[in-house]
Structure 1
Amino acid sequence: MDLNPFRLDIDDLINEFAEGNMTLLAEMKKLWLFRKFSCIFEAKPNTKLGFFMQSLYAHCLGYMTSTASISHRLGGLYCLYCLHETQPFKPPFRIYFCIRELKRLKELVIDAKKENIRGVPLLVSSMLERNLFLYGAIDLKEGSVEERVNELTDIQNARIQHANKKLFADTEIERYMHMDMGKELEVDSLKKVSKDYSMAKELAIKGAEKVVDTQDVNHIAKDRQLIGDVISKTIEDWNLQKEMFYKKTGINELEMLENQSLEQQNSDDSDDGFGDELLQQLLSS
């Protein structure tokens, strides 16, 4: 996947923003619309969409965390925001952030305040409150975008498992999902009863042949499909459907991932706390 054309488009946009000494989000939006920049998504690939979006985000973050002019850095932030807001993906891809980038974001807010550039703290506050960021450990300086995407995939998979656990925990559907239908219906006992009944039915009809015409009911004795066998087939179908459901959702792995889910929940809580702490620092700077 050749991402250079996309990066060059972002370069042109941010450079034009900086060359005009622009510093406001409204100015970036005006430039964005003038250049019809949302058309960048029309050339998106058919696969690896997460890799595609994180690559665009990372390029903007490179400007935002650079030592270039305040216009270049703000251009990176504004372009990052506009990419997130105009992306066609549902749900939208969140922005991967490492600790170094968060520190640089705080410094950008401080510098913007010194330059009396309004709106920057409000924008960053809104992005944090809307939880647009995913906090991770991999720094672009130390790892590739692909590593970022792999880490995000692991995070999302763990969150899906955690969500499934919450969704089905202590609910009626969980009981049915893990139910052993054979035990619930006492199928072994039922099969024995149905077999005994079938034998008794056959003996009764044969015995009746001696005294009455049983031609119209002989087919009943010949019907060898026992109710116990029907129930057994139903249970087999149930188990097959349940197994297919497990494969699609991974719910049968929840117990194996319980500790991972708990760790991820703690990590999520830490992320939220970190975001809140950062927000307080940004607003108080």
Structure 2
Amino acid sequence: MDLAPFKLDIDELLDDYAKENCTSFTDFKRVWMAKKFSYIFEGRPKTNSGVFMQSLFLHCIGHMTSQSSLLQRLPGLYCLYCLYECQPYKPHYKIYLSLEESKKLKDFVIEAKQNGLALVPALVKRMLDKGMFLFGFINLLGDNEAKEVDEMNASQNKRVKFACDKLFANTQIGSYMHTDLGVEFELDSIKKLSMDYAKAKESAFAEASQTVDVEDAKHILQNDKLLGDKVEEIVKEWDAQKEEFYQKTGVSPHDELAVVDNDESGEFHDENETDAFDELEQLLLE
């Protein structure tokens, strides 16, 4: 999917608006309509619609969060809003915004307010109220995607470990996890006893059949499984469930589960996380 022509169209639209030295959203809509820019969707791909829309959104976000002047970044926000509202998809694809990008958006709003551009915080607040954004942690504009994915996995593993520690604290679940059911049931002894019992039963019937009619009692010999075999199936099922638990939680069979150190509230805190999203919304309410 070649998206370069679509991105070039966006660049030209923003350049045309910037040349007019305007700051109002009304002027941007005038330039948009003069170029009949909604027709950008006429050439949209038949498949991967989500990738297509996010690529357009991302290109606008790149303009909006660049190192350019405020007036050069402003049309990036306007174009982002218009692309969302004019997209032909129902329901609308939301605008993915990473944690880092949300911080830049917050700084952008602060700078706009300081420069008297009251429309910017109002427009961003409208976008938040309408639920246009989909917040995430991966910065799609960066070039270290693999590193960030690894960091996300590490953070997720840390959360899972914390959840396991809290779940197993002061309970008997930890001891159950390390229980060898075969040993607890003395499986080998049960299998030997059940086998000896089956042989003794067959021998007794064979001996009795020589003197009496045992036809009505033959059903006693027709058991499908020995007790030892049934217990062994239970042990195997127990082991399979434990293994599945280890795989899903990342806990090792030899791990000693203990409560991790945390503050008195017992809440999990990730040093890499901030309240950027909440700060942004609070800022717009001021």
Q: Secondary structure at the match of 1:95?
A: strand
- 1:11 corresponding residue in structure 2: 11
2: CA distance, partners of 1:220 / 1:168 = 50
Are 1:118 and 2:116 matched, yes or no? Answer: no
Counterpart mapping for 1:1-285 below 5 A: 2-12=2-12, 14-15=14-15, 21=22, 23-24=24-25, 35=38, 42=45, 45=48, 56-66=56-66, 67-68=68-69, 70=71, 72-80=72-80, 94-98=96-100, 102-103=103-104, 105-112=106-113, 114-118=115-119, 120-121=121-122, 123-124=124-125, 127=128, 132-134=134-136, 143-144=142-143, 147-148=144-145, 150-152=147-149, 154-155=151-152, 158-159=155-156, 162=159, 166=163, 170=167, 178=177, 182-183=181-182, 186=185, 188=187, 190-218=190-218, 220-221=220-221, 225-237=225-237, 239-240=239-240, 243=243, 247=247, 250-253=248-251, 266-267=269-270, 270-272=273-275, 274-277=276-279
2: CA distance, partners of 1:65 / 1:93 = 14
1:119-169 Cα shifts (integer Å, max 9, x gaps) = 525625964997844467x795xx52xx23651464267437736964996
* Rg larger for: 2
Question: How many residues in Structure 1 have an aligned counterpart in Structure 2?
Answer: 264
Question: Structure 1-normalised TM-score?
Answer: 0.59
User: CA offset at residue 271 of structure 1?
Assistant: 1.4
2: CA distance, partners of 1:220 / 1:236 = 27
Q: Secondary structure at the match of 2:98?
A: strand
2: CA distance, partners of 1:78 / 1:35 = 14
**Structure 1 stretches lacking a partner, 5+ long:** none
1:198-217 Cα shifts (integer Å, max 9, x gaps) = 23422432342243222454
Question: Structure 2-normalised TM-score?
Answer: 0.59
**Structure 2 stretches lacking a partner, 5+ long:** 263-267
**Greater percentage in helix:** 1
1: CA distance, partners of 2:130 / 2:202 = 75
1: CA distance, partners of 2:90 / 2:154 = 22
Shift in alpha-carbon separation, 1:216–1:278, aligned structure 2, 3 A = same
Shift in alpha-carbon separation, 1:275–1:42, aligned structure 2, 3 A = same
Shift in alpha-carbon separation, 1:58–1:183, aligned structure 2, 3 A = same
Give the CA RMSD over aligned residues.
Answer: 5.5
User: CA offset at residue 245 of structure 1?
Assistant: 6.7
1: CA distance, partners of 2:96 / 2:128 = 10
Give the counterpart letter for 2:115 in structure 1: K
Percent identical residues = 28
Q: Secondary structure at the match of 2:159?
A: helix
Q: Secondary structure at the match of 1:225?
A: coil
